[in-house]
Structure 1
Amino acid sequence: MGVSNSILLPDSTSSDDLKASLASPVRPFGSSSFKPKPTDSDDDSETSAHQLVSDRGLDSDLGLRSGFLPGSPPVCRMDGSWARWEEALDAARGLEPGRGEEDEDTRQWRRMIREELPVLEVDALEHDIARLRRAHLVLAFLMHFYVHSGKLVDESMPNQLEKIPKGIAVPLCAVSKLLDMPPVLTYADTVLYNWRLINPADGFTPENILIETTFTNTPSEEHFFKTSLLVEVLGPTCLSLMKLAIDEAIVTDTLSVTRIASSLLVLATLIDRLRDVVEKVRDHCDPAIFYWQIRPWFHGGQREMEGVVDSKDPSRWLITDFGGPSAGQSTLIHSLDVFLGVDHRPHPSQTVSSNPMKQGAPSGEETFMARMAVYMPSHHRRFLSELAACLENSSKITTFPSLPHVATHSVRSLALGTPATSDLRASYNDCVSALGRLRSTHSKVALLYIVSQSRHPPPEGSAYMEGWLEKQKLEAEKRQESKKAHLGTGGTDLAKFLKRCRERTKDALID
C-alpha cells in the first residue's frame, strides 16, 4: 500500500487512451531499461500509479502517486546488529558543534566511535532498499556528528583532512555504493526518507508529520526539514500535470493545445502553493538557531575514509570531497526547470565558482542541475535525464514515426510556435512567472537565514564566537580599504548564486 497522501490523484489522470498510447523514444513517465532488484518492501500496488498505459514505470519507487517521496513509509530504525548504529546516533544527541574533546561528553562519544564501534557487514541489506536508505541516513548523520563535534579548525589552513573512523566509513561507503549515492548526508536523507505519519489515514499535514532524525532535537530543525517535506508532498500533482501536458504535446491539435494551456494554469497555481509552503518555514524555525546550532552540522568537505582502499591508489585510504544537504538537491524543483525549459547554464562571463554548493560536484560548464544531481537518489537522476531527453528541441530529435509532423514534447517549443496573444503562451508565462516568484521567496528566506545571520554574533559561549569576532575584524579592515560593504565569501557567493537562478528563470519568459 502506498503512502497515505491527502493530495493523491486517481489513476485516470492521463490523456485519452489513443493519445497516451503513442510511445515516444524516451519516456520519463513510462518504461525504462532500469530493472530494480526485488525488495521485500516493494509494493505492486504502486506500479500502476506511474504507468504510461501498460508499461512499467521508470522505477518502482517514483510515480504519479508518490512523486519523489518513497512509495512506502521509510524505515524508522535499524534492527539486528545494525542497531549499534542507531544506539551511537542516540548517544550523539545533545552534542554541540565545534566543542572538541575538551568537552567530556564529546570526548567519550568520539572515543566510542573510534575504538568501540565495529565494522558491520551490509551484504544482507543489498536487496532491501528501505533499510539501505535508513542505513545511509544513520551512517551519514554519524559521520557529520563525528566531523563537526570535533574542535574547530583554522579554515585558512589548506588540505585539512578529517579521518572518518572505519566503523562509520566502511559501511557508509558500502551502502552508498549499493544505492549509487555519495557517502555524505544529502537532502534525500534529511527529508525524503526521514519522516513518519502519526496517523497514516490523515495523510501529510503539518500536525501529522514527525521528522525521525535531527542533530539538535529542536523544534526549529524539525520544522526546517518538515517544510521541505511538505514541498515534496505537492510533487505528485506537479508530475501529473507535467505528464498530461507532455502526452497532449504529442498530438498538438487544437483541443490538445487548449488542454495543455489549462494544465499549465493549474501548474502555475500549484507552484504558488509551493512558494507559500517555503515561506512558512519562518513560522517555527528561528533564524539564529538555524545558523549557529543547526547549519554547522550540514557542512561537507574532504574526508579520509579509514578502512576503504582507494581504487586508484591502493596504498592509501579513499578521500572524498562532497558538499552537504541542500534544498538545491530537490528533484521536484529541477523537474519543473526541465519541463519549462529554464536554462541554468552559466553565461560565458560567469564562472561556476560562484556556486556555494560546489564541493564534490562536476566543474567547468556543467549546469546547476548536473552538480546537484550527484547528491540525488539514482532513480531521480535517471528521471531528470530522461525528461530532458524527451523535451529536447525539435531540431535535435527524430520525428515520431507514427506522427510525422510532430517532433517534440516540449510545451515551451509549442508556446514559442503560437501567437503572442495565445492562451498557451500566456499560460506558459504564468508558470515561469510562478517559478520566478518561488525563487524570489526562497532567496529572501536564504538571505534571512544565512547572509543576515552571519552578521550577528553567535550565542554566548558558542564555539564559533572567537572565529566570528576575528572575521568581523578582517571584514572591517577590508571595508576600510575598499570603501564598500563586504559580506564574506559564503554570503557573497550565495547572494550571487540566488540572483543568477532568478535571472535564468526570468530569461525563460516568452515575449
Structure 2
Amino acid sequence: MDTKVKNTETLLSLGQFHISEDCGCILPEPLTDLPLYYKPWMDIARNVPELISSHSLRLRIHNMPLLETHLLRTHCELRLAHLALSMMTVGYVWQEGERETIKVLPRNLSVPFCEVSQRLGLPPILIYTDAVLANWKKRDPDGPFSMENLELLLTLPGGESLRGFFLVTLMVELAAVPGLKSILDVINGIHYNDVAMVTKALDVVSQAIDSMKQAFKLMHDYVDPSIFYGIVRIYLSGWKDNPLMPEGLVYEEVQEKPMEFSGSSAAQSSTLHCFDELLGVQHEGSSGAFLRRMRDYMLPSHKHFIENISSRPSLRSFVLQQADEGLTHTFEQCVARLVDFRNYHINTVTRYITIPASRAKQLRANKQGLPEELDAIRRAPTALEERGTGGSGIMTFLKTVRDKTKDTSISQGSKGNQVLPDPSINTEGCI
C-alpha cells in the first residue's frame, strides 16, 4: 500500500512523461529543418515520393554521405532526424513495391539511423511516433489545429490520401488530450477516496473518447480507399511477420544478422494504451502480446506513463466498491464509448482493407474497372491482404481487442451498454 501512495505523490504532471498539456502525446511545435550539416538527408527526405516515382531513391541513398550524429543535440532535432531517416528507409525498402525487395540497408543510412534510434529509445523503422506525432506543421502558425491549416513535414507516395491519413490520425490524438489530462484526476480521486472527483474526471475521459471517434470520421473525407490500399499501405509495413521480407532486414555495419521490426500501426498509440490501463481492459493471448510489444515502439517516457497508470489501484475495483450510481454510470459510459470507437475502427478497416482486398481479387480475375483503380490495385502487395501494417492478422486482432474492452463493463449484457457498429457503414459479408 505504501508503494501505491508513493507512486501517487510522485505523479505530479504530464510533463514528467513528456506529454504536453496542450498536445498530449503529439510533439509540440516540431522543427521543420535540421542544421545545415544534415542538408543531404533533408534534400532526399523531402523528395521521397518523386524519387520513388522515378525509381532513383535507392541510387540517391547509395550516393549519400555517411554523416555523424553527434551534432544532433536536442530532442526535437533527434525526432526530425528519426522521421527523415525512417522515411528514407521505408522508401528505400519498398521503392519497387513487392518486386525487387532488398535484404540490406546501406551503411550511410543504417548507421546514423540506428544511432539516432538508440538515443531516442526507438526502433530504426518508420513508426507512429514519427509519421503522426512528429510530422506536422501549421500553415498559419497562429491559426487553429484543423485539416485546412495543417501540413506534413515529410511525406510518402499517396498524395492527398497519404496526407489525410496521417493528419486525420493527428486530429484523433488531439481530440484525446482532455482525456489524457483527466487521467491524473482519476488517479488522485481514487487515492483520496473522492467519488465526485473521479466521476467528473471520468466524464471528461468519456467525452474525449467520443471526440476521438468524431475526428476519426474525417478519414472518409480525406482518404481514398483504393489509394490507401494500393499505394500507401506498403510504406507503413515493416519487416516482421511480413511474408514479403521473411528474413527481416540487415542494417549494414550495425549487425550482421537481419533484424525484424513491425511497421507503423495505431497499436503504437500511447493514448489508447493509457485509456485501456485506466479502465482495466485486460488484453490477453496473442493480441495482448502484440500490444505489449508495440509499447517498445513508443517513446520510453510515454511507455513509462502507461506503466505508471497500470501500477495504480484499480479504477474498476474502486467503482465496484463505491457502488455509487453516478460513478458506475459514468464508468460504463466510458467503456461503452471505447467499445464504440473500436467498432468504428473495425468498420473503417473493412472499408480501407477488407473491401479493397476483395475488389482487388475481382479486378485481377476479370481485368475490369477504372484505369486508375486498376493501377492502384495492381500495385497493392497481395501478401499483405489480411494483415495490418504492424504485421497482425488485422480483423481477428481488432475484434479481440474490441471484445476484451466489452468484457470490462461492470454490467455485461445489459442492453444499455451494448454498442453496435455505425449503421452508416455497410459491412455486410465483409467482417
Q: TM-score per shorter chain, which class?
A: 0.7 to 0.9
Rounded to whole Å, the distance in 2 between the matches of 1:93 and 1:137 is: 15
- Would the alpha carbon gap of residues 325 and 237 (structure 1) be closer, same or farther in structure 2, given more than 3 Å must change? same
Task: Provide structure 2 residue ranges, at least 5 long, that are not aligned to the other structure.
Answer: 240-247, 364-372, 412-431
Match of 1:490 among 387, 392, 398: 387
The CA deviation at 1:425 is 1.0
Tell whether the 8 Å contact from 1:340 to 1:411 is kept in structure 2 after alignment: yes
- Would the alpha carbon gap of residues 175 and 66 (structure 1) be closer, same or farther in structure 2, given more than 3 Å must change? same
Does 2:88 align with 1:142?
Answer: yes
Rounded to whole Å, the distance in 2 between the matches of 1:151 and 1:412 is: 47
Query: Normalized per residue, which structure has more helix?
Result: 2
Does 2:19 align with 1:66?
Answer: no
Match of 2:298 among 355, 365, 376: 376
Rounded to whole Å, the distance in 1 between the matches of 2:380 and 2:236 is: 20
The CA deviation at 1:183 is 0.3
Match of 2:230 among 258, 270, 292: 292
Rounded to whole Å, the distance in 1 between the matches of 2:76 and 2:201 is: 34
Does 2:189 align with 1:251?
Answer: no
Question: CA RMSD of the aligned region, Å?
Answer: 2.6
Output aligned runs, 1:151-230, within 5 Å. Answer: 152-153=98-99, 162-216=103-157, 218-230=159-171
Tell whether the 8 Å contact from 2:57 to 2:91 is kept in structure 1 after alignment: no
- Would the alpha carbon gap of residues 291 and 29 (structure 1) be closer, same or farther in structure 2, given more than 3 Å must change? farther
Match of 1:415 among 319, 335, 356: 319
Output aligned runs, 1:453-472, within 5 Å. Answer: 453-457=356-360, 459-461=373-375, 464=378, 468=382
- Would the alpha carbon gap of residues 143 and 28 (structure 1) be closer, same or farther in structure 2, given more than 3 Å must change? farther
Does 2:409 align with 1:505?
Answer: no
Rounded to whole Å, the distance in 2 between the matches of 1:26 and 1:329 is: 25
What count of residue pairs does the alignment treat as equivalent?
387
Match of 2:346 among 432, 443, 467: 443
Larger Rg: 1
Task: Provide structure 1 residue ranges, at least 5 long, that are not aligned to the other structure.
Answer: 1-21, 32-49, 52-56, 98-104, 155-159, 311-316, 347-351, 356-365, 391-407, 472-486
Tell whether the 8 Å contact from 1:96 to 1:293 is kept in structure 2 after alignment: no
Tell whether the 8 Å contact from 1:331 to 1:376 is kept in structure 2 after alignment: yes
Identical amino acids, percent of aligned pairs: 27
The CA deviation at 1:367 is 3.4
Tell whether the 8 Å contact from 2:79 to 2:134 is kept in structure 1 after alignment: yes
Tell whether the 8 Å contact from 2:19 to 2:26 is kept in structure 1 after alignment: yes
Rounded to whole Å, the distance in 1 between the matches of 2:356 and 2:380 is: 16
Moved more, 78-87 or 332-341: 78-87
The CA deviation at 1:177 is 0.5
- Would the alpha carbon gap of residues 462 and 74 (structure 1) be closer, same or farther in structure 2, given more than 3 Å must change? same
* Partner SS for 2:260: strand
* Partner SS for 1:184: coil
Tell whether the 8 Å contact from 2:114 to 2:124 is kept in structure 1 after alignment: yes
Tell whether the 8 Å contact from 1:436 to 1:506 is kept in structure 2 after alignment: yes
Match of 1:426 among 329, 346, 355: 329
- Would the alpha carbon gap of residues 466 and 24 (structure 1) be closer, same or farther in structure 2, given more than 3 Å must change? closer
The CA deviation at 1:338 is 0.5
Tell whether the 8 Å contact from 2:90 to 2:235 is kept in structure 1 after alignment: yes
Does 2:282 align with 1:343?
Answer: yes
Name the amino acid aligned to 2:232: I
Tell whether the 8 Å contact from 1:306 to 1:318 is kept in structure 2 after alignment: no
Rounded to whole Å, the distance in 2 between the matches of 1:227 and 1:233 is: 10
